[in-house]
Amino acid sequence: MPVKTATSGAFLLKTALPILTAASLAVAFATAFAVWSASETDRIAIARQERLVHVIVDQLRSGIAHDQESVTVWDDSVEAVEAQNLEWIDVNLGSWMQTYFGHDGAFVLTADRVPLYAYLDGAVQAPQSFHALQRIVGRLLDDLQKRLAAGDQTGVTDKVLSIGSTDIAVVNGHPSIVSVKPIVSDSGEIEQEPGQEALHVAVRYLDSDFLDQLERDYLIENLGFAWALPKTDHQSSVKIPDGSGKTIGYFTWTPYQPGSTVLKRVAPVMISFLVASLLLISILLAALRRRSIKLQASQAEIQHLATHDQLTGLPNRRTFERSLDEGLQRIRAEGGALGVFYLDLDRFKEVNDTLGHPAGDELLREFARRLVDLTGPQAVVARLGGDEFTIFVPDVASRDDLERLAEDLIEMARQPFSIAGSQAFVGVSVGIAIAPEHGLDRVNLTRRADVAMYHAKHSGRSSHCLYSEEMDSLIEARRELENDLREALDRGGQLHLHYQPLYSAASSELTGVEALVRWKHPSRGWISPVVFVAIAEEVGLIHRLGEWVLTEACLATKAWPVETVAVNVSALELSKAGYAMRVANTLMRTGANPRHLELEVTESTFTAKDGECQRNIQALRELGVRFAIDDFGTGFSSLSRLQQLDVDRIKIDRSFVQGFGKDGSDEAIVRAIIDLAKASGLRTTAEGVETELQNERLRSIGCDELQGFLLHKPVPPEEIERLWMEKRPLKTAAQSRENG
């Protein structure tokens, strides 16, 4: 018995105790590690939720201001407030803000801060009830009116239409976001003295129903508001400061704690199955490892999205700028040269208009793939946005290498793109800048590549240009021309309309005219419409220019015995809401006959998927206005599409007419267009008739009207009036010489 006892004691001391001790230490270590891992996971999750709540509040502040702009940047609002039309104000600036956007309060003030209208807690209040908020929003009003008076437009973008002031304050016992916006004209046609605009105040409570909505939208558990910091350790909180930094309260919620949840589930298993503790620890570590891998993968994906363009997968502007800065730093330290390319696709808008935006996106993805394949792994290819791309090429040996690469890029872009079951054709304009030759500053170097690209695009597209200092001078000259065009539209007297006659091919009689705008600059002389019309489209003056042309044409021609008055219309004009109404008003104001007016547009305008454009065309056709396809046969035109177009006339582009009588001419194509147009009930006009041979051939194949320098060049209106008075059939230049 004593021996047995001694043996048992030795086993306990030499085997069991060490094993139990080791197992206990292992379990204790594993438990401590599991607890620490769970705590760290909880800490990361809670920190993310806190950041999310901060982001939500920031988005709310900008979101409420954005909600206001839907009604405060509006001519009707300016006029209604000036007229103190309280019924209109209530419907559009008051109760509607609550029913549509969920705002809890809306107030309208005059520029002198006199309340005109008050809405709070679901009901219209007496305007004087705003005085209770005067102390709260006074600082916001002061700040906004000072900025308005100073003409401060800081922060105004394509998405933010007007300046404003926003703060967090306590309103009517509720923590609230308070936003102040000026009530301003959207068209700019209503003159408002800066600083004297009426003001709109919006209030959004940050408790009650609002918290329930956030809880549902963002899956935040037990989200609430507390005036004082909660003392419990089981709640997370974020303080809500006002504009002065003073804390007015706290958002509180039950934090999502994935680590603690996992630990609670595995702890009973660890206690109940001590023998399998090592296995359970391994499983827990494996589970935690999988969670860590998933977290790292998620972070890597977020990092990729932050540094790459989502559509094409190329590096974005930020990544490109960082890479270029690193390359320039190496050049400063080690010498050498690098090249920067700025690329802009040509005719990309036509792809979007004719095939749709999904097809345009697919073209951009394919173009990006071609760029990467062509430039190789050393170059950095990035998409800046839209159809603009940049390329950074390190270790440049010579400028000839860069120009050869530019030529390869242009040739690559010329190859057809198979998109949406059809082929699309585009081009690319390329600008090049070289460091250190053109500078070592990233911003300036990129700008110069952009200037070179702009020069290439305006030199004929599908070409490349290497930056030179003269290009900056050309950009400045273009800017001056833009300002001069604005002045010409404002003052008048410089723009003129000339009219090119249209002649019947069958009778040689004058049947109509095409109105062509001309600009006689006071110092530069006559400027080509190819130049200034393109400028007008780019800087937003095309609507004013188009309205002036239409008005002048209607006034000049209304008394002429004319069948057709053709006026060119930009796709930008047709796509603007209300264009049809403006044309109708012009016709009514001038007394012109709408059935004589024929608007000439490009084919892409008719095939565009822009609903506003189609609505304007339909409204004008119902009014009696006719439409013609200008320059048919270029761009995306095709004979198969001709029968699908709802137009009255086809104008055959001069490029098809010029080769008549020569080998390889397009006379067969012109004949096919005319035959198909007749079968579709459309009239045809041939442009650019410059020789007797062209004149006779076009007559013989059945063209309806002819136009060109052989017949008559564009002339002032008084010359057209003289032609009407003579009432003589057409005599071409050659016929006049024969008659002596």
pLDDT tens per residue across span 180-239: 999 999 888 898 889 899 999 999 988 767 777 777 777 777 777 777 877 776 778 888
Note the pLDDT tens digit of each residue in 510-551: 999 999 999 999 988 998 888 888 888 888 899 999 999 999
Q: What is the pTM of this model?
A: 0.48
Q: What is the mean pLDDT of residues 56-67?
A: 82
Give the C-alpha separation, 702 to 708, whole Å. Answer: 17
Domain spans of the chain? 2-49+258-299, 55-205, 217-254, 317-467, 481-728
Q: What is the mean pLDDT of residues 676-689?
A: 90
For 443, list phi and psi in degrees, rounded to 5: -65, -45
Stronger pLDDT, 35 or 598, i.e. the higher one = 598
> Is 3.40.50.2300 the CATH classification of the domain at 55-205?
no
Min mean pLDDT across 101-110, 148-157, 269-278, 587-596 is at 269-278
Give the C-alpha separation, 568 to 500, whole Å. Answer: 13
Residues ≥6 apart with Cβ < 8 Å to 395:
336, 337, 338, 378
Q: CA distances (Å), 178 to each of 133, 167, 181, 342, 683, in order?
A: 10, 5, 10, 44, 62
Note the pLDDT tens digit of each residue in 268-315: 876 776 567 666 666 765 666 677 667 666 776 777 778 899 999 999
Note the pLDDT tens digit of each residue in 334-376: 999 999 999 999 888 878 877 788 889 999 999 999 999 999 8
Residue 433: pLDDT above 70? yes
Note the pLDDT tens digit of each residue in 650-669: 998 888 888 887 776 778 88
Q: What is the assigned CATH class of domain 481-728? A: alpha beta
Give the C-alpha separation, 655 to 24, whole Å. Answer: 93
Q: Find, among 613, 481, 500, the residue nearest to 566 by Cα.
A: 500
**Residue 644 half-sphere exposure toward CB, CA atoms < 13 A:** 10
Q: What is the mean pLDDT of residues 584-603?
A: 92
Q: Which CATH number fits domain 317-467: 3.30.70.270, 3.30.70.260, 3.40.30.10, 3.10.450.50?
A: 3.30.70.270
Secondary structure of 427-445 as H, E, C letters: EEEEEEEEECCCCCCHHHH
Note the pLDDT tens digit of each residue in 476-515: 777 888 888 899 889 888 999 999 999 999 988 999 999 9
Q: What is the C-alpha end-to-end distance of the chain, expressed in Å?
A: 153
